[in-house]
Amino acid sequence: MKEKILEFLAQSKGSYVSGEHISEELGISRAAVWKHMKALRDEGYTIESSSRRGYMLPLEADVLIPSEIESRLDTEFVGRHIVFLESIDSTNDHAKKIASKALDGTLVLADEQTKGKGRMDRAWSSQKGEGVWMSLVLKPNIAPHRASVITLIAGASVARALERFGADAKIKWPNDILLEGKKLCGILTEMSAQMERIDYIVLGIGINVSTMEFPDELRDIATSLKREGHLLERRDIIIAVLEEFERMYSAYVKTGDASEAIGICREKSSLIGRDIYVISWSGKVPAKALDISGEGDLVVEYEDGSVERVISGEVSVRNR
């Protein structure tokens, strides 16, 4: 019922809706409307109220309502089934729990993550209502060794989606999106597979949307769309990312063609032409990033002139 009330208010964002109208439309008492409004406020929603005019969601409220996403989304299967959670430890972990029974393309979406994850057990800060915290369950019929390209397709989708809204993001191979040189988005791809066959992939995407204050340790390295002057609603970003993703992902899964996504990763690369470190378990090796290959590997040249394709892993930029 709480969700229904929220949906109702969101439909007339910026205008008051009377408690009487809500109670009639939803078939509940005025006292019940009042109780649900209180519960929504306790959860952190800003709902204005006036004893004469009723209740209102302010025009600038960014409320995530799954049915709104479903009705506007123009995809065949990606995001057609949405699991929405107000608060969860990690959408990737939740997606893994439900993956074996979930339909291909199921979207797990949360308003807040209490234990958002990055790669290698690092933490991903995911404050309530301030970002897109989502994971897709994917069941592609491809060989497991071809799965890493899906991270690049996701990065390309985020960059293209943001372009629709006028934000010129850069892609830091393989899994970060930067805006004005700072981290705006991270992608975490996890897979369960047999030798020859993928059971499922969980593709997690975190995008900072309206955060103005990051925790101390992120202050100099992270940014949000709002901090860079882009005032967007999470719903619109999610829809754009899912639409871009489905097109490029379907092409890859059906025909093996990832050229559009890899072209975008090249065109928007924050690394190509830069001096970098290639970081592995054995240490940090200085190199120059030359290109991203047709298979999605990072092509680097070491100081001794040898050229290598880095398949996966971590790189950092030298001499910023």
Specify binding-site residues for biotin: 90-92, 113, 183
Nearest distance in Å: CB 221, ligand BTX = 6
Asked if residue 116 binds ligand BTX (CB under 6 A), the reply is yes
- DSSP for the chain reads -HHHHHHHHHHTTTS-B-HHHHHHHHT--HHHHHHHHHHHHHTT---EEETTTEEE--TT-----HHHHHHH---SSTTSSEEEEEEES-HHHHHHHHGGGSPTT-EEEEEEESS-B-GGG-B----TTSEEEEEEEE---S-GGGTTHHHHHHHHHHHHHHHHTT---EEETTTEEEETTEEEEEEEEEEEE-SS-EEEEEEEEEEE-S-----GGGTTTB--TTTTT----HHHHHHHHHHHHHHHHHHHHHH---HHHHHHHHHTBSSTTSEEEEEETTEEEEEEEEEE-TTSPEEEEETTS-EEEE-S-EEEES--
Nearest distance in Å: CB 121, ligand BTX = 9
Asked if residue 175 binds ligand BTX (CB under 6 A), the reply is yes
The interface region with ligand BTX, picked from 53-61, 126-134, 276-284, 286-294 by CB under 6 A, is 126-134
Nearest distance in Å: CB 304, ligand BTX = 28
Nearest distance in Å: CB 16, ligand BTX = 35
Asked if residue 188 binds ligand BTX (CB under 6 A), the reply is yes
Nearest distance in Å: CB 227, ligand BTX = 11
Q: Which is nearer to ligand BTX, 55 or 173 (CB)?
A: 173
Asked if residue 150 binds ligand BTX (CB under 6 A), the reply is no
Instruction: Kindly identify the residues of this chain, within the stretch 22-61, that bind ligand BTX according to CB under 6 A.
Output: none
Count of residues interacting with ligand BTX (CB under 6 A): 28
Binding-site ranges for ligand BTX (CB under 6 A): 90-92, 113, 116-119, 122-126, 133-135, 175-176, 183, 186-188, 204-206, 208, 218, 222
